[in-house]
Each structure stands twice: as structure tokens, then as C-alpha cells.
Structure 1
Amino acid sequence: MSEQILIVDDEPSNRKILGQELVHKGFTIDTAAGGKEALAKIETAPPDLVILDYMMPDMSGLDVLKELRKKGNDTPVIMITAYGSVERAVEVMKAGAYDFITRPFDPDHIELVVRKAIERQTLKREVEVLSEEIRDRYHLVTGESPKMKQVVDLARKAANSSATVMLLGESGTGKEIFARNIHNWSERKDRPFTTINCVGLSKELLESELFGHEQGAFTGAHQRKKGKLELAQGGTVFFDEIGDISPELQAKLLRFLQEREFERVGGVTSISVDVRVIAATNRDLENVLKTGAFREDLYHRLNVVAIRLPPLRERREDIALLCQYFLRKYATEAHRNFTEIADEAMERIVAYDWPGNVRELANVIERAVVLGAGPTITVDELPSRIADPISPSYRAMPSYREGVNAARKEIVLKALSRTQGNRSAAAKLLGLESKYFLKLMKSLQIE
């Protein structure tokens, strides 16, 4: 499909000549005889690019450009005029034009400028879409559990510094999501976030991935390659599963953390970078230290701010919220009509111990959405390990409603304790109406 270009000029001959040239180059053309007509057309049928004449009687090209940008329209604009000057060009570029061209013009030059403007806009939109997809993929659902709130509070405080952060926790607890959010909460949010997976790569490959290499450093190194540390300049480097890094690389990583500089593989020049380091592991590094498989000095360099992410079984009050998030996400992605989870199904979900944590929960909800009939996820759509009410993990747990009421009762009792039994003060502390608070006490059988 050819790109649509709107030519705006009060001179019919100018519109015709430029239009013919651009049609010949493969573009689709629309025209407007003035600024107001152009704004109306851009509103109803947005073009891929606008070519504006600077001097027009009803509304100058500069006024049209300013009006577009005022409305938040980022369509690329090329300004064209027979009366060019440096001052005018600067004025137009400051107002948000892509380029400023004077007549008479070379048709090949016009084509080149038009194609580059459209290409840049296409890349910009692709980046915006990708950024939105990444934000959605790594969306942090904090929940209401005290443990999770405490972890988020600690992570936000850490984000305001340049301190190295160590994320600890079982597999599937969301360590990479937390790492990305620490980056996004920090002053480095507009700089790169780079992930280095320390599992599955040989020492040589990981070293090249991390530090880069010079041409001829090893067989197959046909040209110089920058490493991820260098490419992350100004941003954040996330070392996933740092506990699996080889002893040889541990020494080089320790030197980097101490001096914030390194050499490429096969190189002799020291390269300095300014990056924030976040590491994560699901291993108990303190026990690994005893075996000698992990350097103690490196451990202390990494373990400046340690944040332990709780497993899902320790924050069951967040499960319902996570379920709703994943239900909306996967129903939208799969174009399926799912809107809720049946009470019985939710009870089984909350009762399950979730050894795979949030990742396992996400997979279970996605499976139910893909295989279920909708619009409600029932027990029948759950895997047997969760749906079976006689499983050990289910037997040991109260029902979802019992669990919620127990949590509510604990909150009310704490409020009463803090206010020495003053019910009005306890209600105020919890942000509740006194009448509702008394009903709540009665329903929870609190004397």
C-alpha cells in the first residue's frame, strides 16, 4: 500500500507539479488549497505526511504546523517555500517540522526527504507499540498483602539510588518484572534495560556477550562487537540467575563492580561505563558460599540492597487480583469472551500451594481461557492438581471465604488493639463508617 501525502498550497500550479512528481515516485496524493481545509482533511483522513507551503493567505504553513502540534498530532511535516532563510528554517524546525525545503527543488531530493520522514515516523510508531507491549508484559500487579507492599516500598527506595540490588526468591516469583520496575522507577528509565541470562551459556560465549570482543579475538570474530555492558551505558544491567555464573567470570565481574570498567575479549583498552546493576537468583547463595562455588567478595558486592520476593503461597490474598489481571490479559489476547472465575474455582485456586508461583498461575489461567467455553472459568477448566479437592495442599487450607474473613478479623482486632478498644477510633483508623464497622464486628463474631 502506497503512502498517502497531503500537499497544502494556495497555488494550483504548485500543487499540480509537486503532485505529479510524487505520484510518479509511487505515492498517493491528496491536496488542499489552504490551511483550514488542510486541518479538516488531516482530522478526517490522516495522511502519512504533509507538505506545507509556508506562505498562504488564510493561514500560514507555520500556523497550520503549530495547530497540529498543539492538538498532539505528530504527523511528519515538510515545509516548502520560495522565500528561504536561515531564520525561517530555524523557526519552522523549532515548531516541529521534519525538514524545510526551498523552491526550486530537485524532485529526487524531495523523494529522499519524504521517504526518510515516513521511515522515521514508522520506526517511531513501532518503538511505541513495542514499548507498550513490554510495559504490558512486565506489568507489576502488587496486590494488597503486607509482604508484597513491604517489598514494593523497599524496591522504590532502592530505585532512587544507584545501589546494586540483589533480588532473591523462588522461580516464578517475578524477579525480572521487579528488576524492570526498579529501572522504570529510577532516573535511568529512559536509558537501556539489558538482561544477561547467566544460565545455559558457555564461559566464552557469556564473556563475549557481557564484555564484547575485538576483531580476531577468537575463531568467528570477524569484526568488533560491543558487549551488553557497553550497550547499556547510562541504563540498567540485569544479571538473571547470577548464582550460575562460572568462577572465571566471577572474578571479571567482581573487577567490573569495583571499578566500573572492563576490556573487550581480545582487547587491551579499558572501557568505563555508568550502569546500574541488578542481580537475581533462586539459589541460596549463603549456602553456595560454603561450598566455594561462589566468591564471597562478589556476593557482598552484589548484596548491597537485598530484596526477597515472597512466594505466592505466602501472599494468598493477592491471588484473586492476579487472577483477574491474567484473565483480562489472556481473554483479550485470545479474543475469547471470559469475564469471571466461578467461586468454587477461585477457592481451589487460592487453596493450591503454587510451587511455580506467579508464572504457574499465569499459565493455568491462560490454559483455562484457551480451552474453556466461557464466559466463566469453572473447576472443570482447571488442571486436576488444582481442581482435586482432596489434594494435600487443599486439605490443609481453609476456603477462600474463610481465608478472607480471617484476614478481615485480624485487621479489625489490630485496629481495636491499637485504639485500646475504642470502636469509633478503630473505625476511623481503618477509614470506615462507625455503623459499618459495628456490623463488620458482628459478622466476624468479635465481641
Structure 2
Amino acid sequence: MKLNLLAGTFLGIALLVFQSCAETTMANTVDPPLNASSFRVPVSGNSFLTVKPSGASEIINSTSLTSWTNSNTVISTYFRVSNTGIVNIGLKASVPSGTSVVKVTIGNTSKNVTLTGSDYTDYTVGSFTISTPGYVKVDLQGVSRTGGFFADVSDVTFGGTASTGTNIYSNDPSYYYWARRGPSCHLTYTIPTTSNVSYYYNEVTVPAGEDKIGSYFMANGFNEGYFGMQVNSATERRILFSVWSPFNTDDPNNIPPDHKIILNRSGSGVTIGEFGNEGSGGQSYYKYNWSAGQTYKFLLKGEPDGSGKTDFTAWFLSPDTTTWKLIASWKRPQTSTYLKGFYSFVENFNPENGYQGRKAEFKNQWVKTSNGSWIAISAAKFSVDNTYNAKQRIDAMGGTSGSAFYLQNGGFFNTTVAPGSQFSVAPPTQMPNINLSTLP
């Protein structure tokens, strides 16, 4: 999770290439400056290898697309326009040796451009028609080459009548990594009580097809940590529970002994360790092959231990059992608090998969106070991270679907929901049926 992007709220969250209408355009081999109505879209922050055959060598690095040798690889670049009309597309590219022909596709129109010369040059591709405002996807695919590589490409350029409104793409190098991951989005739940809260309860369903690799669907967030489920690879999924140290550092080795998160206990098969880079603290995860389309239950407890520390404990329940699974119980020093800041988020932590969409539904939220009362949650506020706020990329949204809240990000969809929007559902009526005294 992007810890720095939550500051002030919490601690501190098969592509088809069309062949029709193909045209061949001889490249402009001079390198004039772009005029004031043209825009450069850096490949490093806005492009993805959306088709990459096994063994293909293409790489998108911090400055360009490079090592481009495979004619079956498709490189997709995204930018957002607010107007319809003509968009004039170009490439800034270098061909290390020989001459290359590259196909450029938007929608069902393709144009070929010839590239040559080892100096980076602005090449004109041609004009395309944009019929709907929103994200534009520009696909590149190699057609032929006489040298070792098709080209190194640093930018896709665009102009024309479709570009005369508000355009959105990542133009800040400090955001390229985050923009390729995509904006994360959050729901902050409204807790209708001023009493101390000891438990958070939430149910999470990831719809079929929305469980992309790199996704984190965080169910029970709190001021000191977060608890949810991940898609770590094609073969591994995890239930993850982490608690931040009160010592602010990205390196767990720098945490003083009296500020380290202490393990109280953990469930069988749970891996225990530390994490860094986005704050630091104690981390626990359970490898579990959860499935899209199924509903999973998350229960979190947080109470002070009476000695200036607080115990946070997380349990997980899958639909194929009636027995709650202990993930871990952590003791956080320098802290005396009940649970505060109930929230959920959806994010992608794999920048190579940032062009793919993901979605989760959250429903039947409850809190239990320290005096034993279960209280239903029925309202939430939508928020986004700094990648969205800086208008580097805005494909993130939230809303309601029946009795559930939802969050969605990635995929370069065009629907927008204003950050700060308030959502509500009918309050759930059936409180969780949990015997808390028998939890592991």
C-alpha cells in the first residue's frame, strides 16, 4: 500500500490489433519542436506490454521502450482526452541500426510508419478519429526491420482537435512507477458511535475476472495497519495482516527495540516477518487460494493491554468452513488505543499489470464496542491517492451495488466519481454470529 498517499487520513492505500484501414506513412526525418498544441506522453509512465509472447525481450524502463525485437509484442500507451475529433499521433523514436516499419493502431484504424536513424527523432504517424471522450489506447507493433531492433521509443505524441480540452497522462517522472501501478482508492466507513470500538467486521467479494495478479483487496484497515487478501502470482494468493511500527521509517532495521511490533501469537501455517519501504512494522500472511466470486469474512480486534501498548488480532473465515482462522496477534508499543479509522481499499502493486482492471465489493460491515454492542455500518466516503489527485491517472472509482459498497481501479475506464463522494446502503440487520470467546 502507498503509505505516503494516505497521509493525513491514516498513518502518516487479450488485446485485438485491427488490421483494417492500414496506411503506410513515410516518416518525417527532421526533429522539429512540437507546437504548443501538441503533447508528449512518456512511454515510461503510460505504456505497457499488453501482449508479450514467451521469451520476448521488450522492456519499458525509466526512459523508454527498449530491446524491441518481437513482432508479436504489443505495446499500449494510454492518455485521456476530454474532446472528440481528430487526434494526430507521432512517435519519438530511435533506431539503433537499419530501417524499421512499425504499425500504430487506435481502435480499428492502423497506420504504418517507417523509422530510421540512431538519433531520437519526432516521427509523424497520422490522424485518427476519436468519437468518445476518455482514455485513448495507442498500440505499437513491429512489422519489419533490417536491424537488430525495431526501435527505442521514448514518447507517443498527440495533438489535433481532440486534444484541445483537458488531457490526462503521467508527465511527472516521480509518478511514473505509481502511474503504471494505477491509482488506489479507498472507502472510509462512518462509525455511528462515540464509544470505544474493539472489533471491525467486513465481508469481501471479488467478482469473477476481477482478481488480477498484483491486486490487494484490503478489507479491515485501521489507523495502525491493514488486513485483506492479495493475488501475488498466477499460483499464489495470500491473506495479509500488517501493523505499522510507531517509529516512522521505511527500513525495519532502523526501528529501535522499544518501538518494534511484537508477535503475541500466530495461526498455523502463517508466515511472520517484517516489512519496509512503505513505513515499517510487523507482517503476517497466510498462503490461501481464495477464489473470485466467493465471499470471505474478516474480523479484527484492537484493544489496549493496560501497559501502554495495544494488541491487534486478525481472523479470517472462508465459506468452506465454520471455523475462524487466526492470522496473527501483534502488540504495538507506544500505543494505547481502541480501533479507529475503519476503511477499505483496492490497489495494484504490480506496475507491469497496471493496465488491467480490478474490483471488489464490501458488505455487511459492523463494529462492536468495548461494552459489547454490535453496531451496523451503512455509510462510507470515497477517496483516492496522490496519483489520482495529481491527475497523473484517474481510472479509480467507488459506489454502491445493492447492499454492498464497491471499489474499482485500473483498466483505463472512463467513468469518474468525484473524490469525497458519500455513499450509503440500507443498514445490515443480521449481526455477525461469532462466539468471540472461542476464537483462536
Superposed pair shares fold, TM > 0.5: no
Query: If the length of structure 1 is used for normalisation, what is the TM-score?
Result: 0.25
- Name the structure with the higher strand share: 2
- Name the structure with the higher helix share: 1
Higher relative contact order (CA 8 A, sep 6+): 2
Instruction: Give the structure with higher Rg (CA).
Output: 1
